[in-house]
Amino acid sequence: MNPLNSILGTIIAGFILAIAIALAIDENVLRIPSLIVWFHVLAGITWIGLLYYFHFVQVPALGEAAADSSGPGPAAIGKYVAPRALAWFRWGALATWLTGAAALHYVGGIMENFFFTNGVTAIGIGAWLGTIMLFNVWGLIWPNQKKVLGLKQASDDEKAKAKKIAFIASRTNTLLSIPMLACMVSAGHGGLFY
């Protein structure tokens, strides 16, 4: 059976290949801190990748679909694509934050970086930006998207307001993701802020 025939098979094969490469290079690479950082990066790519998908692909496509009188309209995306993408988006956000908090523990401590007890650090700033973004996902974007997508009862006026709130919160996350990623990369690779 070809693992590429299913998404689960593809993911499992990807993990097996990654572990085989890691063991071939250095058996110490599979320590708990390394695994936590690896899961943090995987979850973060899922979260931020979907954030970028929404703003670079889905939002413009919905505008074009709404203007196309001979096409299927935006309902196809709103009914079938958006709910699934938003599920991966919000759970990816939570997984990213949780694994990030665990990773902070291993790279100098949560108190020292997140609460700046030993001064401001790039990774601490990145952690706070990620926390703001997580709040936006669960506190603003998702509750309002449920109204927009019809998953929660709302009047047309409530839907219009919810659409604006979700859009601005999500666009804010796109803005914050740029310095957040710069902070995270610099912390591990001596980049922009190191």
Residue 194, pLDDT score: 45
B/e letters for 40-79, b = 16+ CB within 10 Å, e = fewer, are: bbbbbebbbebbeebbeebeeebeebeeeeeeeebeebbe
Give 52's contacts (C-beta < 8 A, 6+ positions apart): 174, 177
pTM of the model: 0.87
- Rounded CA gap, 121 and 111, in Å? 12
For the segment 81-96, what is each residue's pLDDT rounded down to a tens digit? 999 999 999 999 999 9
Amino acid 78: pLDDT: 84
CA pair distance 106, 138, nearest whole angstrom? 26
- For residue range 11-24, what is the model confidence (pLDDT) as tens digits? 999 999 998 988 88
Taking the C-alpha atoms of residue 105 and residue 34, their distance in angstroms, rounded to an integer, is 12
Per-residue pLDDT tens digits of the chain, which is 194 residues long: 899 999 999 999 999 999 898 888 876 767 888 889 889 999 999 999 999 999 999 989 888 888 888 877 778 788 889 999 999 999 999 999 999 999 988 877 888 888 888 788 888 999 999 999 999 999 999 999 999 999 999 999 999 999 999 999 999 999 999 999 999 888 666 555 54
Collapsing DSSP states into helix, strand and coil, what is residue 117?
Answer: strand
Domain boundaries, the chain: 1-30, 31-189
According to DSSP, the residues that pair with 99 across neighbouring strands are none
Residues near 100 by beta carbon (within 8 Å), at least 6 away in sequence = 40, 44, 127, 130
